Amino acid sequence: MKGFLRQDGRKGIRNVIIVAYLVECAHHVARAIVTRSHDPAVQLIGFPGCYPNDYALKIMQSLGSHPNVGAVLLLSLGCEGFDREALMNTVRNSGRPVDTLIIQQTGGTKLTIDAGVNAVASMKTQIAHVERAEMRIDELVVGTICGGSDGTSGISANPAVGKCFDRLLREGATCIFEETGELIGCEQVMMERAITPGLAGEIERSVLKAAHYYQIMGYGSFAPGNAEGGLSTQEEKSMGAYAKSGSSPIHGLIKPGDVPPQGGLYLMDVVPDGDPRFGFPNISDNAEIVELIASGCHLILFTTGRGSVAGSAISPVIKICANPETYQNMSEDMDVNAGRIIEGTASLDETGDEIYQQVQATAAGSQSKSEALGHQEFILTYKRFDAIGPACLPAH
């Protein structure tokens, strides 16, 4: 397969232009620019808040310089607290075309939309001939998340993704699984897989932090739909979520926007540090997908038992359906039918290989089901994180 070669040496599997609003007041204008561009490779992202947040800035900087991104257009109202100069400089320094439109200075809605459409057209020309280079499996970063879990998730789709992860890791890829709030009760088994004692301790602390956070909030990562689908406890759900990680050693613990320094398996801690300030850490599956992408994921493996139609801007989402009945009902949204394991028509290893082949095909340019259907969901809100310590990552 061939990737889009970027200035920092990373390679992308897509070459999208992102139009990013920096406050909710600029959302409509940004969306209109994307709509008028009539191109699925022109995609909308943004941060709605008006006052600054270091986490949101870090995520947007990571997305603006993501290997799947070719160019960036920023939309500012003009009086919000977002540090648009810092974001623009990050994108510019990454070698990508970037421009900022400030609505209060450009003349309002209509004139800014016109200027934005022209800017996007110019960017298309600039990135049309980005150098393509051979891309190996060991250059891929693959994330995984589960959503709409049920009693079948932990016995079909999730362990099948784990099999795929193990194969990718054997070939030198980088794989990221998350999240600590859905792994409560699995800390000991994860600690046993950590490559250093220091990392084992960090994993334990991150899960205990998640449990404490949810205790304070009075609500955990267990939804009514999970119970309706046959799950009985948070720990039972955690065991299924854990299965996505496979059986390989865990090389590091990262937080959203941290890019793993080398290949291997990484756990992402998405639960904010400190006392709860901004509400629930996992407001939607798409918020976690954004965080995985911000940490460099070229594509996302999304498992579901109850069913999901989620996709994402920037990086393709491959959906693996755990429940054969759900697959029958929602087959047009699903890429892999892991429910065949339950029906006895495919083995766990065979399904893991099928997911691996889907990863290869999508990385080579084939559209996932969510891409073909036009799904480009995106959500980013407020959070706060402390910097990770040296024990969290492998030695170079």
The rounded distance, in Å, linking the Cα atoms of 146 and 300 is 10
pLDDT along the chain (396 residues), means of 10: 97 98 98 98 97 97 98 98 98 98 98 98 97 97 90 90 98 94 89 97 95 82 55 61 94 97 97 87 89 98 94 98 96 97 96 98 98 98 94 84
Respond yes or no on whether the N-terminal peptide bond of residue 332 is cis (omega within 30° of 0).
no
| Cβ atoms 176, 168 nearer than 8 A | no
| Cβ atoms 285, 143 nearer than 8 A | no
DSSP character string of 229-241: TT--SHHHHHHHH
pLDDT at 316: 98
- CA 272-322-162 angle, to 5 degrees, is 60
The rounded distance, in Å, linking the Cα atoms of 164 and 246 is 8
Question: All domains of the chain, ordered by start, with CATH?
Answer: 2-133 (3.40.50.2300), 137-392 (no CATH)
Instruction: Please tell me whether residue 342 adopts helix, strand or coil conformation.
Output: helix
Strands 132-134 and 2-5: antiparallel
pLDDT at 9: 96
pLDDT in tens, 347-392: 999 999 999 999 999 999 999 999 999 999 999 999 999 999 999 9
CB burial class (10 A; 0-12, 13-18, 19+) of residue 261? middle
- DSSP single-letter state for residue 331: G
Q: How far apart, in Å, are the Cα atoms of 258 and each of 166, 252, 285, 364?
A: 22, 11, 19, 25
| Cβ atoms 109, 152 nearer than 8 A | no
Tokens of 2: 């061939």
What's the predicted TM-score (pTM) here?
0.95
How many Cα atoms are found within 13 Å in the side-chain-facing hemisphere of 105? 7
Helix (H) or strand (E) segment spanning residue 69: strand 69-76
φ, ψ of residue 99 to 5 degrees: the values are -145, 155
Instruction: Please tell me whether residue 322 adopts helix, strand or coil conformation.
Output: coil
pLDDT at 181: 83
DSSP character string of 245-312: GTTSPEEEEE-TTPPPSSSEEEEE--SPSSS--SS-S-S-HHHHHHHHHHTT-SEEEEEESS------
